Amino acid sequence: MKPSSSSNQKAVLTVLPEQTGMRLDIFLTSQLSDFSRTQIQTLIRGGNVVPKFKVKAIKVGLEVSGGQSYEVTIPASAKTDIPAQALSLDVVFEDANLIVINKPVGLVVHPGAGNPDQTLMNALVAHCPKIVGVGGVRRPGLVHRLDKDTSGLLVVAKTDIAYKSLVKQLKTRKLNREY
């Protein structure tokens, strides 16, 4: 199961005896390694995780027990509403997993109030159409951002695995920003 797919995905996951006592969100994250814990919590809260046994209420912190099964539905990825616009990009590095852009001063990174288009995100959606849905629909692939009046290198993930890895590296400070 992958975070980005054009159709719904379903799986039934069963808790092993040695996993008894784990929180539901942690159990599911251990089974669905392509998903972050936050993504799993969103699935649980959104009703996309259904226990195959009677329970009063399902919550992220529910303690699981061996033998319990949960049906997990991963909804099809929503398409971004960011229109593709062929704008000039200063690509410093690119491979199948990520792209590094040298962002100039004055370029807005993503659409927002007062800047509905002509942004780096518009250019990236045109340059890498498969980026749509990676890490979210509002800012596909965007691992970090730079202000409009700041220039510098910007890392953008092209796959869900790269996105998850880069976000984790930033969070644990294995990847850092220098100003």
| Residues forming the active site | 147
> Among 77, 93, 95, 111, which residue's Cα sits nearest to residue 154?
93
- Give the H or E element holding residue 165: helix 160-171
As a whole number of angstroms, the distance between CA 68 and CA 23 comes to 13
Question: 12: which 2 tokens?
Answer: 């039934």
Per the structure block, which two tokens stand in for 152? 């510098």
Q: Which of 99, 105, 137 is nearest to 4 (CA)?
A: 137
**Dihedral sign of CA atoms 58, 160, 107, 172 in order:** positive
